[in-house]
Chains A and B, each alone.
Chain A
């Protein structure tokens, strides 16, 4: 299996070398077909958070996780395509901080560059944690560690270090040139690795009806029980869901994450750039079946218990084999094992003394349980590919933001290109070191999606308010945006410090100032953190802006909606316009919500 695995990776590397000869996507100017950019658009966020995190959330919160797609991502992508893309394509900004500098001023840019750097480090740290857990679960290094007499707990440190070294090598070998092509290849690779898993897993529980029978009813309905926070697994009510996830977090993510937005800029015209997110929304809509369903299947499968099988071999001898699951497996639910402390190997208990489940391992244990040698290699390669791109993309973004938006602008101006290039390399190393630290922070959660949304609610949620005001209200001033951003972030931190999810210990999960309020789940807490951050930022920015003097309109052309020329689509048939596609998408997404209500 290992051989096969190395081989597939080898093909990947050989192909990449081949790819480098084709033009780099920025050099190629804006010339790629919309469908390629569309696939790259969703693939750019198809990191560990998507495959591991969505599977984990599927196991933890049930089919309600599909809200991340059906009321989260899809409407946000439609919004980006219809309203936001003309600004980005027209203003030619290459990063979020750059856009903020053009619209507001330097200090807003610096502040955002800092919080953006924090976000990228956390995102890549989360991928790193996921990769280390995968290495640990595969038990490939157990033998070496036992024979060297080292404690098994060190495997986690070793795995983190190993993933860091792999990523560093990947980036320095030029892993992100021709990024768009890699993203698309990876997109298909993940489908190729996961689709058979879904098929076999479904067959195992007896189809959709079998899955329905093996799970609590609430897990199979995305809307039932949403009227009150305590009657659904996600622990939010309709308002928190629609406002926190549907509006603030999703729109914030898809509108301001340039890792994703960039891919749409590689098309040849503004029309096509607007079409990219809309095209991307079609496969995105069906992703829950690929990434959330395995999580549900894992929790719905039978929990491993002592099994004795008897079979007669060729010589007629009767052979009896007994498989005893490990303690971790037996204390889990379905194929989701109990969470162990990655360092000590002890099972982690929640505040009420029950063993916590390690939802992050839902997908890896599904793969190991159902895939025989051979296709297992394919599945693991798909997983690793997603981790690599998750880490590499974020570390590279960190490098760019640090070198150009912070170092070149504020610390050392006017140095030679070679100096900045060297600085960029050191920034990559520094970014990876910081990611390693955040990977340890991520080990405190049992679902990386919870961790990730927590980071987003600190960074993206207040930022989205700034963007929205900046783009649609021309009176918004630089001071307003700056103070608004600070108060939004402070509000998020304060909210996190004052509330706690049920059954969690105060500390990293919140409540480190005082516990004023309990939320039913980590995710509910994240949604409300985002709502608070957004609202405080929105309010403060408006109030401060009203006291200040806005920028002259001539400086805001192309940056504010009312002052940006509207795209002229008179020559395009009505059914080819982005708006028509958007309506089709909305109908489809409402349909899916109705089917899985």
Chain B
């Protein structure tokens, strides 16, 4: 059974998003944000990544469950479908 790529990917981005969000919230109003034109880039982008990661994870899990319910017909190793 192949692992659905969206699950680890979703996990990774959720984690990165979480770190950025927490870090951004903790450093709100910090003068270092003058660099990014007074936008709290950590908080804002953290939330975006969190949403993206979460969506990917949920989609991946849904896909995985669906694949488990309908097991794929095994194809012989190295089968090449070709027209004539």
What is the size category of the interface that chain A forms with chain B? 35 or more
Q: Which of A1-35 contact B (CB under 8 A)?
A: 4, 7-8, 11, 15, 18-19, 21-23, 28-32
Given contacts A28-B2, A31-B75, is CB(A200)–CB(B16) below 8 Å? no
Name the residue on A nearest B32 (C-beta). A372
B41-A371 in contact (CB<8A): yes
A200-B2 in contact (CB<8A): no
Tell me the interface secondary structure of chain A in the complex. helix
**Would you call A149 an interface residue if the criterion is a C-beta within 8 Å of the partner chain's C-beta atoms?**
no
B44 to A: closest C-beta gap in Å? 8
Contact of A372 among B2, B42, B52 (CB under 8 A): B42
Q: Which residues of A contact B27 (CB under 8 A)?
A: 373-374
In angstroms, Cα B15 to Cα A28, docked, is 29
Q: Which residues of A contact B33 (CB under 8 A)?
A: 372
Q: Which residues of A contact B35 (CB under 8 A)?
A: 369-372
**Would you call A185 an interface residue if the criterion is a C-beta within 8 Å of the partner chain's C-beta atoms?**
yes
B24-A374 in contact (CB<8A): yes
A269-B81 in contact (CB<8A): yes
B75-A29 in contact (CB<8A): yes
Q: A372-B33, A567-B82 are in contact. List 9 more A-B contacts (CB 8 A).
A: A15-B12, A29-B77, A185-B9, A371-B35, A372-B32, A374-B23, A375-B20, A375-B36, A375-B45
**Would you call B29 an interface residue if the criterion is a C-beta within 8 Å of the partner chain's C-beta atoms?**
no
In angstroms, Cα B83 to Cα A190, docked, is 38
Given contacts A29-B77, A90-B82, A200-B36, is CB(A374)–CB(B42) below 8 Å? yes
Name the residue on A nearest B21 (C-beta). A374
Complex interface bits, A540-562 against B, C-beta within 8 A gives 1, otherwise 0: 00000000000000000000000
**Would you call A36 an interface residue if the criterion is a C-beta within 8 Å of the partner chain's C-beta atoms?**
yes
Q: Which residues of A contact B62 (CB under 8 A)?
A: none
Listed from nearest, the 8 A-B pairs whose CB atoms lie closest are: A568-B83, A374-B42, A22-B3, A372-B32, A269-B81, A374-B23, A196-B45, A375-B41
Complex interface bits, B14-42 against A, C-beta within 8 A gives 1, otherwise 0: 01100110011001001011011101011
**Would you call A378 an interface residue if the criterion is a C-beta within 8 Å of the partner chain's C-beta atoms?**
yes
Q: Which residues of A contact B16 (CB under 8 A)?
A: 8, 11, 192, 378
**Would you call B57 an interface residue if the criterion is a C-beta within 8 Å of the partner chain's C-beta atoms?**
no
Name the residue on B nearest A309 (C-beta). B34
Complex interface bits, B52-84 against A, C-beta within 8 A gives 1, otherwise 0: 100000000000000000000001011111111
B4 to A: closest C-beta gap in Å? 10
Q: Which residues of A contact B82 (CB under 8 A)?
A: 90, 270, 565, 567
Complex interface bits, A362-383 against B, C-beta within 8 A gives 1, otherwise 0: 0000000111111100100000
